[in-house]
Structure 1
Amino acid sequence: MKKILTLFAVVGLFAFSGCSDDDNDVDYDTISEVFELQNVNFGYNATDGYNIYEKLDPVLFEDDVILIYRLAGTIDANTPIWQLIPRTLYPSATRELDYDFDFSREDFTIYARGNYDLSLTPSYLNNQTFRIVIVPGSPTGTAKSANKPDYSDYNAVIKKYNIDDSNVKKLN
């Protein structure tokens, strides 16, 4: 009997030692991907101010989130500079412009707000390019912070979630 219990203990040890909760915190149900809104203009309405509204296709899984990056410029023809939003810009010493967004499983809205009449700076409202990145979320807070990418770094996010950046899907 003692040998059988020892055998079960050894087999159990090997069975559980092969299990690991460390899968680099990648949600394999989520298909991380990137969409682009290229050269879009913010629309204006009296209720919401300046915004860009888009439907998501496909819709998000329950725990997925989106990150939105604004094309802030380029280093050269092949090196864009992507800034994570929300973001505050200062067109002058007294002017403040904020880009922000919200999203649901089916759509998202990008907002532009400021402490001045934004129509005075159309370069911040017209011909804007944004990248929308779908990534798995962690609603329970179980993801290890050491394995999370620097979300402000577009390239780190692309690398972390193994996204093919050459296959960006256009939304407009």
Structure 2
Amino acid sequence: MKKIASLLFVFALVLTACTGDQGPMGPPGLDGLDGQDGGIIASSAFEIEVDFNAANQFSHTEKYGFEVLNTDVTLVYISWETTDGKDVWRLMPQNVYFDDGILVYNFDFTQTDVRFFLDGTKNLTTLGSEWTQKQVFRVVVIPADNVGVDVSNLKDVMQAYNIESFEMK
């Protein structure tokens, strides 16, 4: 029995002690944050100013200008007000209530473009210019791989997806 155990020990030692040629270097991985596996997938974003009127049917369509995958998600924020010198952004859609109806700032998106439009029960042709002219929107395209961020807060989205600034279109 000792001979068999010795023979198995020597056989195991020989198998584990063998080395071969080093294989080729694998492709580099994505840089991640300390303590986290994987990499950060960057989001694309831009800012745009839109004028709504009857001639454009209170709608504006803008091409992204960058690649958007069919699994990506588009978020749009509207510049709502300025408080203490800081812009306040709201996730769309946003409703404004008037005595004679509701105005809705809304959007939809495809893989190639995003459309901003006014909707609701309010007669859009009676709106003042403060509701239709020089409306500023921020568009953020988020890869579907990244979930779990509170998208209602623009600062959280910008921080989570490493967005430092917006290109004005």
Is structure 2 residue 167 aligned with structure 1 residue 169? Answer: yes
Deviation at 1:51, TM superposition (A): 0.7
Structure 2 residue ranges without an equivalent (≥5): 1-7, 17-34
- Indicate which of 97, 107, 117 corresponds to 1:101: 107
- Tell me if the contact between 1:27 and 1:136 (Cα under 8 Å) persists in the aligned partners: no
- Tell me if the contact between 2:58 and 2:118 (Cα under 8 Å) persists in the aligned partners: yes
Structure 1 residue ranges without an equivalent (≥5): 8-21
State the SS of the aligned residue for 1:119: helix
Which residue identity does 1:54 align to in structure 2?
Answer: E
Q: Which has the larger radius of gyration?
A: 2
CA deviation string 1:51-98 (max 9, x = no partner): 111111113023211100000011133x110010012221x2442111
Partner of 2:154: 154
State the SS of the aligned residue for 2:101: coil
Counterpart-to-counterpart distance in 1, 2:110 and 2:116: 12
The structure-2 alpha-carbon separation of the partners of 1:32 and 1:52, relative to structure 1 and needing over 3 Å to count, comes to: same
- Tell me if the contact between 2:101 and 2:123 (Cα under 8 Å) persists in the aligned partners: no
Is structure 2 residue 87 aligned with structure 1 residue 80? Answer: yes
Partner of 1:13: none
RMSD: 2.8
Counterpart-to-counterpart distance in 2, 1:169 and 1:70: 15
- Tell me if the contact between 1:26 and 1:136 (Cα under 8 Å) persists in the aligned partners: no
Partner of 1:134: 141
Identical positions, percent: 26
The structure-2 alpha-carbon separation of the partners of 1:163 and 1:152, relative to structure 1 and needing over 3 Å to count, comes to: same
Counterpart-to-counterpart distance in 2, 1:34 and 1:23: 25
- Indicate which of 113, 125, 137 corresponds to 2:132: 125
Is structure 2 residue 60 aligned with structure 1 residue 52? Answer: yes
- Tell me if the contact between 2:54 and 2:125 (Cα under 8 Å) persists in the aligned partners: no
- Tell me if the contact between 2:53 and 2:125 (Cα under 8 Å) persists in the aligned partners: no
The structure-2 alpha-carbon separation of the partners of 1:152 and 1:26, relative to structure 1 and needing over 3 Å to count, comes to: farther
- Tell me if the contact between 2:46 and 2:168 (Cα under 8 Å) persists in the aligned partners: yes
Counterpart-to-counterpart distance in 1, 2:36 and 2:137: 30
